[in-house]
Amino acid sequence: MKIRKNSRIKELVNQNYDQLEPTYKQLHSTPELSFQEKETSTLIAGGLKRLGYDITTNIGGYGVVGILDNGSGPVVMFRTDMDALPIKELTGLPYQSTRTTTNDSGHEVPVMHACGHDVHMTVFLGIAKIMSELKDDWNGTLMMVAEPAEEKGEGAKSMLKDGLFTKFPRPDYALSLHIKPSLQAGYVGYTKGYAFATVDSVNITMKGIGGHGAYPQDTIDPVVMASELILSLQTIASREIKATDAVVVTVGHIHGGNKRNVIPDTVNLELTVRTYDDLVREKVLESIKRKAKGIAMAYGVPEHLEPVVKVKEDPTPAIYNSAELVDTVIPAMKSILGEENVVEIEPVMGGEDFARFGLEEPRIPIFMLRLGTSSEENSTQTLHSSYLSPVPEPTIKTGILSMTASLLELFSQNAEN
């Protein structure tokens, strides 16, 4: 029975692919920034509506929800993201993005799908089509969710706040996928437990007493303090946290002063902090504050000029893939893709706000699959790169096959119980 069903799914995917690849290229060449996804959401909503889904738009921004009610059974959610990044594409592809737009600060910026959301959306539409054509093979409710502003870590939060799980059926399971450029196209990767990290944004202002660069003895130099702090921060992971606990503290931006011979009064640092465990997270954030204040004290900074450390509220939480859910769907993926094409992979320190959908009480089991996109083994392509160029085929087909098989397995598991 499963062999016949897999053959039917593959047949449908092959039949529909000639329509899906042009959709992918259109999405790739017409990217939109976070909370600006008007054209993209219209395309997604239109595609779902033509397939018979009950459509609701403008959920939490330009979010789209499509419901396919197919009788009594579980509610299973599949989510895609839609937004792109302010990056200039340099792939040289015939369908590369040449778009520019105005960002939130009013600046004209280039726009590119440098994180694979164009792939995610194409797979999403393919899944929606195949599941609608296989309605005789499953019972339940399929909830297709297109999320805005994932790159800002705001989309899931805004959709939930706008009633995603109150205006619509509450899912029993939630699935998603994310491309992995280092993995060859045709392969998928999975991780049980923690798969993506909690993401904290931290801003530090080191304050000193500025003055002439020729007379540093008359100043308290915040540039020197900031430089020492940057190096000291790296000892948090190496000397304060267990080696078995993952931690990343990165200073991605530093600014102080406007002229080479003027010592400034302040230096501003912007950090990204990545952890999995909540207790480790709290310890790391406290260590950052302690180190900043300790260095200022050591340099004799007056109390009224002590450093200001601000941690952005409501960080993007870590994705924790339900082991039970992973164990349920992976055999279905192996059956349709071949066991050798489904590989277990290490967790990463990247962030993804899909995690929020699994934290709403009562907790919903979630699983995010990683989808290979490279034309070769051990690719050096990376996310958020100007040169990111996923191979459309077999990437898109693999995504649709793996997730369609997973959805059908979840619907059938409930029926058997």
**309 confidence band (pLDDT: 50, 70, 90):** very high
Quote the pLDDT of residue 4: 74
| Residues 324 and 371 reside in one and the same domain | yes
CA dihedral 325, 327, 328, 333 (to 10 degrees): 110
Look at residue 65 and give its three-state secondary structure. strand
| Residues 181 and 208 reside in one and the same domain | no
pLDDT digits (tens, 9 = 90+) for 252-280: 999 999 999 999 999 999 999 999 999 99
| pLDDT exceeds cutoff 50 at 82 | yes
Quote the pLDDT of residue 22: 98
| Residues 57 and 113 reside in one and the same domain | yes
How many domains, in total, are found in the chain?
2
**28 confidence band (pLDDT: 50, 70, 90):** very high
| Residues 127 and 50 reside in one and the same domain | yes
**417 confidence band (pLDDT: 50, 70, 90):** very low
Three-class SS of 173-235: EEEEEEEEEEEECCCEEECCEEEECEEEEEEEEEECECEECCCHHHCECHHHHHHHHHHHHHH
Last residue of a domain, one of 311, 341, 372: 311
Residue range of the domain that includes 21: 2-197+318-416
pLDDT digits (tens, 9 = 90+) for 119-165: 999 999 999 999 999 999 999 999 999 999 999 999 999 999 999 99
Q: What's 243's domain CATH number?
A: 3.30.70.360
| Residues 287 and 377 reside in one and the same domain | no
| pLDDT exceeds cutoff 50 at 30 | yes
**398 confidence band (pLDDT: 50, 70, 90):** very high
- Cis omega (within 30 of 0) for bond into 394: yes
**416 confidence band (pLDDT: 50, 70, 90):** very low
Q: What's 406's domain CATH number?
A: 3.40.630.10
| Residues 108 and 11 reside in one and the same domain | yes
| Residues 96 and 239 reside in one and the same domain | no
Last residue of a domain, one of 277, 311, 345: 311
| Residues 36 and 74 reside in one and the same domain | yes
Bridge partners (DSSP) of residue 199 are 274, 316
**377 confidence band (pLDDT: 50, 70, 90):** confident
Last residue of a domain, one of 260, 295, 311: 311
| pLDDT exceeds cutoff 90 at 415 | no
| Residues 214 and 170 reside in one and the same domain | no
